Structure 1
Amino acid sequence: MARVFPEGQLVYGMQLPIQSQSTLYAEAWEAAATPHDLAEIARTADRTGFAYIAVCDHVAIPRRLAGAMGTVWYDPVAALGFLAGITERVRLMSHVAVLGLRHPLLTAKQYATLDHLSGGRLILGAGAGHVPEEFDAVGADFPGRGAVLNESIDALRAALGPDEYPEHHGELYDFAGLAQLPRPAQRQVPIWVGGSSPAAVRRAAERADGWLPQGDPRDRLPGQIARVRALREAAGVTDPIEIGAITEPLYVGEPGRPVGRRTLTGKPDAIAESLRAYAAMGVDQIQVRFRSRSRTELTDQMAAFAAGVAPHLNQ
């Protein structure tokens, strides 16, 4: 699998607000936001050079977790399909699709159609999932979700490849002689694995085209990246892997209000200097999130980042 983004260049993307409203990161204004707000944010990302926009995946949130996770989680295929029609160049990512909730042929049909309609802009981010009630509700295997995810990735390599009649023979899934059209516009859809557990790191190293860590702080990332590369080499995988990182929250300029002690603020060149440390660790793409009080403030922040910070990321 070829790289998605140019080697040696630090690119930036974002998980969209509104479509997921976990109390861990959602801003207050998102609760009353509309599809028009989501569309304007996606258009801003498309216009200002963001590498990708991402949408999460949860089928149903149990009452016991609703207080922490919230219950607003858009369907990734429906949301990305909507956004594909109003954007032109930005990549469309599931971050992450919980593959164990669906048969690989169903997943392939949905995402192949999305890639076909968007002109080859899909990045399929995949993860194991962590909510047992979701798995129970759809009859999926929660205790065995790691093995299910491993084989799902293998099956999707075939099902999202160029062949009209994909074929896979495994322990959990077996299919052949079944046509699926349309095929993806890309000859092979990139699959990036999310997660920072030992199992997720190994999965990314051995099976993925990219790694999407979940919340690793800066001081832990170098060790994690070294482990990904060591495991990949030990597995004999020679294809490149694109390494990601989720940055601290950002605010370009002086916010004039409390934005949290971890938030990077200040002049664009100072923020860029701080973010270049990720590239020095071996990171290829950073996922950014901005502190904001409204959709307009968010899109202004995105534009300020693109105009003032992005030009200095690769100096």
Structure 2
Amino acid sequence: MARLADDIGIAALWLRDVPFYDPGFGDVGQILDPMVYAGWLAATTRNIALGTAGIVAPLRDPLIVAKQATSADQLLGGRFLLGLASGDRPAEYPAFGVAFHTRAERYREAVDIIHTVIEGHFPRHQSKHFGRLDGALDLIPKPVASRLPMIAIGRAGQDLPWLGANLDAWIWHGIDARRMTDIIPQWIDVTAEYGFKPYGYATWFDLERDPDAPIQYGRVLRGGRNALIEFWQDQQRAGVSHVVLNLKPTRRPAEDILEELGAHVVPLFPAHQPVESEL
């Protein structure tokens, strides 16, 4: 299915970070560790970007995350997107010896450390929750491009001005896809001084067999392709740059849905293609 998504021109595959099965929560993502999975997908895909949505930054050592991310980016030829989240499962935190109430502060520190070691050489850095760098070590490899795209997944316990200043893009989520454009004016306002920073959102998704079926809004965005095309064109004009579709609730085979999207929908929303100067 990853090869099919690549072949039809879908922009990105997103890998989730769910360390444990929590019966009280239920959902376990795609089960596989996202960094291991990204390495395997690097050998089976050609053009599609691979992103994490998102690595639970407060529970992972940011130096190891940086090493894994730049390694994956090298294997992918610059196709890796590092999405970082704060985690929404309190039961996991005691297993890692981390206090749940510190997750927002640890997230900020993790983002700062990852920026520091990826973008600098032999850096110096002191953190409260993680380690210390004294200028004697340099992280290798560096990313393919001059910087590695880092994306906020959810709010991560932060305010929008901090996300806009410290991350390169933002993927939000909600229970009603119609409301996902409401916050765009605020996002544009807090990112204006930094240049264009994309905004996208994630949603549960199902594609009806009838191409003319109306959209059913709610926790699952469900409808026929014609109504969805019109809906997404309106959202694109409102400032949405990317939509992450989670196919878990689909009632049709996922391959059928991908093929229909590839034939009729994806060509209307082509993925951005990097140019030589960006590399």
Q: Which residue of 1 aligns with 2:168?
A: 209
Q: In angstroms, what is the RMSD of aligned CA positions?
A: 2.8
Shift of 1:89: 0.9
Shift of 1:198: 6.9
Which structure 1 residue ranges, 5 or more long, are not aligned?
A: 1-40
DSSP-derived class of the 2:236 partner: helix
- Determine which of 267, 271, 279 is the counterpart of 2:228: 271
- Determine which of 41, 44, 51 is the counterpart of 1:93: 51
- Structure 1: distance between partners of 2:244 and 2:138: 36
Does structure 2 retain, via aligned residues, the 8 Å contact 1:159–1:167?
no
Amino acid at match of 1:193: A
Query: Does 2:17 correspond to 1:57?
Result: yes
- Structure 1: distance between partners of 2:173 and 2:239: 16
Shift of 1:280: 1.9
- Structure 2: distance between partners of 1:71 and 1:56: 6
Does structure 2 retain, via aligned residues, the 8 Å contact 1:272–1:313?
no
Query: Does 2:202 correspond to 1:246?
Result: yes
Shift of 1:264: 3.5
- Structure 2: distance between partners of 1:238 and 1:155: 20
Indicate how the Cα distance of structure 1 residues 200 and 92 shifts in structure 2: closer, same or farther if over 3 A, else same: farther
Query: Does 2:41 correspond to 1:83?
Result: yes
| TM-score (normalizing by structure 1) | 0.74
Size of the aligned set, in residue pairs, is 264
Identity %: 24
Q: Which residue of 1 aligns with 2:126?
A: 169
- Structure 1: distance between partners of 2:8 and 2:30: 27
Query: Pairwise mapping of residues 33-182 of structure 1 onto structure 2 (< 5 A)?
Result: 41-65=1-25, 68-70=26-28, 73-161=31-119, 163=121, 165-172=122-129, 173-175=131-133, 176-182=135-141
Amino acid at match of 1:302: L
Q: Which residue of 1 aligns with 2:266?
A: 310
Does structure 1 retain, via aligned residues, the 8 Å contact 2:107–2:156?
no
DSSP-derived class of the 1:250 partner: strand
Indicate how the Cα distance of structure 1 residues 188 and 216 shifts in structure 2: closer, same or farther if over 3 A, else same: farther
DSSP-derived class of the 1:112 partner: helix
Higher RCO structure (Cα 8 Å, ≥6 apart)? 1
- Determine which of 250, 255, 258 is the counterpart of 1:299: 255
Shift of 1:222: 3.0
Shift of 1:216: 5.4
Shift of 1:238: 1.4
- Structure 1: distance between partners of 2:27 and 2:204: 20
Amino acid at match of 1:298: A
| TM-score (normalizing by structure 2) | 0.83
DSSP-derived class of the 2:53 partner: strand
Indicate how the Cα distance of structure 1 residues 218 and 298 shifts in structure 2: closer, same or farther if over 3 A, else same: closer
Q: Which residue of 1 aligns with 2:244?
A: 287
- Please give the per-residue CA displacement for 1:155-190, whole angstroms capped at 9, x wherever unaligned: 111222263x34433444431321322222222110
Does structure 2 retain, via aligned residues, the 8 Å contact 1:115–1:186?
no
Shift of 1:119: 0.9
Does structure 1 retain, via aligned residues, the 8 Å contact 2:85–2:156?
no
- Please give the per-residue CA displacement for 1:23-51, whole angstroms capped at 9, x wherever unaligned: xxxxxxxxxxxxxxxxxx11011111011
Indicate how the Cα distance of structure 1 residues 139 and 198 shifts in structure 2: closer, same or farther if over 3 A, else same: closer
Shift of 1:247: 4.7
Amino acid at match of 1:129: G
